[in-house]
């Protein structure tokens, strides 16, 4: 019954003082927010910290949510800004996309315990592996587009960019993801032979 | 200039005009290179759509709600005290001090030669002996209480400052 309530209904209930309504809202969006945070931090602990921080910030700012955009778009904007601040604080190198050393390290780490069951690995495993090797911006755009049910305009609003820029970025991100995916699969096949 | 892939992605995303859509559909039907690339991108698109989301820890929602509850528990002192009450108290004190100053100045006769200040108090008001005030045990306890309060407040202020810095 409760799960059928819309985001707006839950927000109204939260603002009326019902904290369990906000817990429902957190449960509804936590997987996606956590995944977005993970795209930035590449580390589960940090991602959990970012995601929690986002929900707390969203709770504090709930009165300022006017309902002009979808709650998810508003929430993802908070996630993006929080993650960017977190990255700046932690000084994570975001230019690692072509960093061969990192790439080799990731590959070796994965292949060290996964070479035996290559056949059992699904394409989704390789896809997730390839996504973790992308730049945070690329990974975010792909995740928002495919899993966030966000249009190009909504993604543009979340990231503070023009819709056309997002379109170009999405195209490039897909190209890079495709390259990474092929590269990883080729590497696994080589290891098998 | 759009590449084949760019055109095909736009076609798959439904981001092209009806005319462009018709043209690309025809190319996919007639041109083998387009058809092959289209199938490849379509497959990729399916994989991207089927991408799985990561799951946070079991205690995630609990942790968020606990932090919010803790914040709310700390808030009432700040939030429930009406600002108008604080302003009212401030106005009362300001007026009292001003009235006292006006009264003091109105009843003061300056004697420039000796710099003696002679305040004429009404007969009903008798000031207690200043020396006995400063040596009384009540005054000493009051000072001790003030020092402890000052230490407590400065400690909580520094703690708050530290946690804000860490956050």
Say what the ipTM of the complex is.
0.73
Which chain A residue's Cα is nearest to B40?
A178
Q: Out of B49, B57, B68, whose CB is closest to A19? A: B68
> Of residues B165 and A150, which shows the higher confidence score?
A150
- Nearest Cα residue to A90 out of A33, A37, A24: A37
Report how far apart, in Å, the C-alpha atoms of A62 and of each of A59, A65, B70 are: 5, 5, 17
Contacts of A2 in chain B (CB under 8 A): none
The per-residue DSSP string of A132-159 comes to HTS-HHHHHHHHHHHHS---HHHHHHHH
Contacts of A180 in chain B (CB under 8 A): none
Are A124 and B51 in contact (CB < 8 Å)?
Answer: yes
SS3 call for B116: strand
Over residues A4-28, the pLDDT tens digits come to 788 999 999 998 888 899 999 999 9
Long-range contacts of B110-115 (CB under 8 A, 24+ apart): none
Chain B residues interacting with chain A (CB cutoff of 8 angstroms): 5-6, 9, 15, 44, 47-57, 60-61, 63-65, 67-69, 71
Q: Is the pLDDT of residue A118 over 60?
A: no
Are A131 and B51 in contact (CB < 8 Å)?
Answer: yes
Are B51 and A23 in contact (CB < 8 Å)?
Answer: no
A143 contact B CB<8A: yes
Is the CB of residue A13 less than 8 Å from the CB of residue A1?
no
Sequential pLDDT tens for chain B (167 residues): 468 888 899 899 888 888 988 999 999 999 898 899 999 999 889 888 888 888 999 999 999 999 998 887 766 555 566 788 889 999 999 999 998 898 888 877 766 655 566 666 676 677 667 677 777 888 888 889 999 999 999 999 999 888 877 66
User: CA torsion angle for B113, B114, B119, B123 (degrees, to 10)?
Assistant: -110
Are B64 and A27 in contact (CB < 8 Å)?
Answer: no
Q: Out of A52, A123, A128, whose CB is closest to B63? A: A52
Q: Is the pLDDT of residue A97 over 50?
A: no
Are B9 and A171 in contact (CB < 8 Å)?
Answer: yes
Which domains occur in chain A, in start order? 2-90 (1.10.1740.10), 100-192 (1.10.10.10)
In total, chain B counts a number of residues equal to 167
Total beta-carbon pairs less than 8 A apart between chain A and chain B: 77
Minimal Cα–Cα distance from A67 to chain B, Å? 22
Separation of CA A74 from chain center: 15
Minimal Cα–Cα distance from B31 to chain A, Å? 22
């Amino acid at each position: 019954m409760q799960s059928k309530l819309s985001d707006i209904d839950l927000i109204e209930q939260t603002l009326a003082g019902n904290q369990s309504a906000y817990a429902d809202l957190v449960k509804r969006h936590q997987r996606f927010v956590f995944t977005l945070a993970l795209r930035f931090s590449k580390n589960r602990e940090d991602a959990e910290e970012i995601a929690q921080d986002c929900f707390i910030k969203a709770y504090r700012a709930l009165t300022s949510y006017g309902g002009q955009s979808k709650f998810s778009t508003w929430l993802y904007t908070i996630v993006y800004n929080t993650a960017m601040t977190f990255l700046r604080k932690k000084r994570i190198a975001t230019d690692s996309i072509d960093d061969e050393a990192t790439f080799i390290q990731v590959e070796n780490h994965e292949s060290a315990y996964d070479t035996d069951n290559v056949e059992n690995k699904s394409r989704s495993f390789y896809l997730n592996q390839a996504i973790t090797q992308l730049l945070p911006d690329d990974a975010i755009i792909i995740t928002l587009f495919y899993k966030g049910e966000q249009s190009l305009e909504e993604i543009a609003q979340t990231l503070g960019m023009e819709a056309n820029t997002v379109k170009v970025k999405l195209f490039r991100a897909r190209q890079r993801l495709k390259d990474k995916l092929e590269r990883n699969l080729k590497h696994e096949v080589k290891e098998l032979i | 200039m759009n590449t084949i892939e760019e055109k095909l992605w736009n076609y798959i995303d439904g981001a092209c005009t009806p005319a462009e859509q018709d043209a690309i559909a025809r190319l996919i039907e007639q041109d083998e290179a387009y058809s092959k690339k289209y199938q490849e991108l379509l497959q990729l698109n399916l994989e991207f759509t089927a991408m799985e989301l990561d799951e946070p820890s079991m205690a995630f929602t609990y942790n968020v709600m606990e932090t919010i509850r803790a914040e709310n528990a700390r808030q009432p002192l700040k939030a429930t005290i009406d600002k108008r009450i604080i302003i009212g108290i401030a106005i009362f004190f300001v007026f009292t001090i001003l009235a006292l100053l006006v009264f003091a100045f109105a009843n003061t006769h300056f004697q420039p030669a000796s710099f003696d200040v002679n305040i004429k108090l009404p007969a009903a008001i008798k000031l207690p002996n200043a020396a006995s005030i400063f040596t009384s045990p009540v005054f000493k306890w009051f000072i001790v209480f003030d020092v402890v309060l000052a230490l407590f407040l400065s400690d909580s202020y520094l703690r708050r400052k530290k946690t804000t810095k860490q956050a």
